[in-house]
Amino acid sequence: MNNLAYIALGTNMGDRYKNLVDAIHLLKEETGIFLVKSSSIYDTVPVGYTEQDDFLNMVIMVRTTLTPHDLLEVCLRIEKELGRKREIKWGPRIIDLDILLYNQENIEAENLIVPHPRMQERAFVLAPLLEIDSSIKLSNQKKSLKDYFNMNADKEGVRIWKQKNGEDVFALFEN
């Protein structure tokens, strides 16, 4: 289990909490994937195409024996298994599983770019990622991800989410 990867999860359709739990459960059942850490769950205002429901987002850190492409295959299979249909490009989704980082590798293949190309611009990715490792830095960037997060205008729309007695409760991410 020598490789360390970070995976971002996002959902804004159906039972969002169940979608996250189911996706993590299916990832943990895979041979060669071992869950090391998971962030809090965040309720986040949609970025890009804004005429859609709020998302739940989180990040997990896994150890894996899988290559980046095999890990991608697993993520795509689990998205499909949970009912994801790739219809509107930036539209609503049952579950999205994106590989953010794989060791310190830079991968530029047709179907996989790592580090994830837009991760520095997305507070809904940076907040949960920084919660797992606040000193994380991309190998090809001068600024730390914390610097990117602090510059990010979307961070107001990113709140830690929990349910208490069936009610949604929120808190801000502090770094």
Residue 122 bears catalytic tag: no
Residues 73-102 binding ligand GSY (CB under 6 A) are 90, 96
**Near ligand GSY by CB under 6 A, which window of 40-48, 73-81, 134-142, 164-172?**
40-48
Q: Does 46 bind ligand GSY (CB under 6 A)?
A: yes
Least distance from ligand GSY to the Cβ atom of residue 115, Å: 14
Q: Does 6 bind ligand GSY (CB under 6 A)?
A: no
**Strand partners for 6:** 61, 101
Q: Does 44 bind ligand GSY (CB under 6 A)?
A: yes
Q: Specify whether the CB–CB gap between 114 and 102 falls below 8 A.
A: yes
- DSSP secondary structure string, 111-149? S-EES-TTGGG-HHHHHHHHHH-TT-B-TT-SSBHHHHH
Q: Specify whether the CB–CB gap between 61 and 37 falls below 8 A.
A: yes
d(CA 25, CA 154): 30
- Catalytic site residue from 16, 22, 84, 122: 84
Site residues (vs ligand GSY, CB under 6 A): 10, 44-48, 55, 57, 90, 96, 124
Catalytic residues: 84, 93, 96, 98
